[in-house]
Structure 1
């Protein structure tokens, strides 16, 4: 009789323990979801500021390009034109990121949220890659076509070295700005902590939530 009672008590205790574990996992998952929401919310102010500053910047560049188009030099038109194009694309991507952040719902399935975060990661990488392409054009906008035949050869050698160096750097960054390099020191320096770190923290926490739900 005592054995049966002990077994019943143990079974009851085991059930209570399982219920408590399930309750704790659910609580942990909900708390982690709130942390994910907080990390993503921290991105919104910097994104909004970047979009507003970017719109003013591209408006200035577009206006400048329109004004100098009739009589501007070939170097100036090409340089400002490319810089304006790159920055217009960047502003569009930042607006897209703001939309992504707004539509992410932590109550949605983890897989769906992970897809949104993957899009956020990819767009963050691509906007930086694209912006890097403008580097060499900042070394050519002041040049004049009339200098081609009359300029000092030493000047053109120095100018060529500088422009090619910036072009090489831009191409190298465009190729190497990849998710696989996220732990490299130059990558961390380039991206800083304001835009990249919250996304990575959110990704890690989503993995934790997925583990809680699978247990």
Structure 2
């Protein structure tokens, strides 16, 4: 075999290998995008359920507030109002998240998908912080002026400690539920399951997709 023929054969073989690698990267990217689509789809049912339950709860509590206005204990009325306002904020966030998921197209550029998922992650943290702010309301809604007036000192002290603990816990969680604390044990306990794990896995897979694209263009 002449040198020219050998070089041509080598060049042809190299081109075939390069083409196969290119096709493999495209296939790997497509498979990764399908995995991301499946992960994001798995997040929808729990968010739809939370949205539905939240709407039913809001309608019920709003009706209760209207019916009991001027008659119920002020502790009950203001606790319920505080709780339902926070619940409405949470429902609004869940609706926004569902719109984000519905508008996410795995065929869109990786950076756009990453931006959507970043907003989804940020709002997941926000809705959790908001929901924990409800804690104090659940320690005061059952109180009445007569109960406080007639309760023994020990009962008042216990009630104060319970409510104060709820306030401190709610405030601490509201301040510390941040992405910078994602490696803390308590954070991993709170954020695990269908609302969080698929989101993190999708972001990891998007990084792989970006690597595939970078390899193809290099």
> What range is the shorter-chain TM-score in?
over 0.9
* Residue 104 (structure 2) pairs with residue 104 (structure 1): yes
Q: How far 1:181 sits from its partner (Å)?
A: 2.2
Partner Cα separation in structure 2 for residue 29 and residue 37 of structure 1: 12
Which residue in the other structure is 2:211 paired with?
211
In structure 1, how many angstroms separate the alpha carbons of the residues matched to 2:30 and 2:148?
66
Determine whether 1:46 maps to 2:46: yes
Q: Confirm or deny that 1:28 pairs with 2:28.
A: yes
Partner of residue 166, structure 1: 166
Cα distance in structure 1, aligned partners of 2:189 and 2:149 = 42
Cα distance, 1:166 vs structure 2: 1.0
d(CA) in 2 for partners of 1:184, 1:45: 28
Distance in 1 (CA, whole Å) between partners of 2:214 and 2:102 is: 27
The alignment yields a C-alpha RMSD, in angstroms, of: 1.3
Q: Which residue does 1:132 correspond to in 2?
A: 132
The answer to whether residue 195 in structure 2 is matched with residue 190 in structure 1 is no
1:83-94 pair list within 5 angstroms: 83-94=83-94
Residue ranges of structure 1 left out of the alignment (5+ in a row): none
Q: Which moved more, 1:137-146 or 1:124-133?
A: 137-146
Q: 2: CA distance between counterparts of 1:210 and 1:39?
A: 18
Residue deviations 1:51-70, cap 9 Å, x none?
A: 11111111111111111112
After TM superposition, give the deviation of residue 148 of structure 1 in Å.
4.0
Counterparts of residues 75-90 of structure 1 (less than 5 Å): 75-90=75-90
Corresponding position of 2:120? 120
**1:47-86 pair list within 5 angstroms:** 47-86=47-86
Greater mean deviation of Cα atoms: 26-35 or 58-67:
58-67
CA distance in 2, matches of 1:175, 1:92: 21
Q: How far apart are 1:141 and its partner, in Å? A: 0.6
Unaligned runs of 5+ in 2: none
The TM-score normalised by the length of structure 1 is 0.96
Q: CA deviation at 1:4?
A: 1.8
Distance 1:157 1:207 in 2: 53
Bigger CA drift: 186-195 or 53-62?
Answer: 186-195
Provide Cα deviations, 1:90-112, integer angstroms capped at 9, x if missing partner.
11111111111000000000000
2-side partners of 1:46 and 1:73: how far apart?
35
CA distance in 2: counterparts of 1:45 and 1:201, whole angstroms: 17
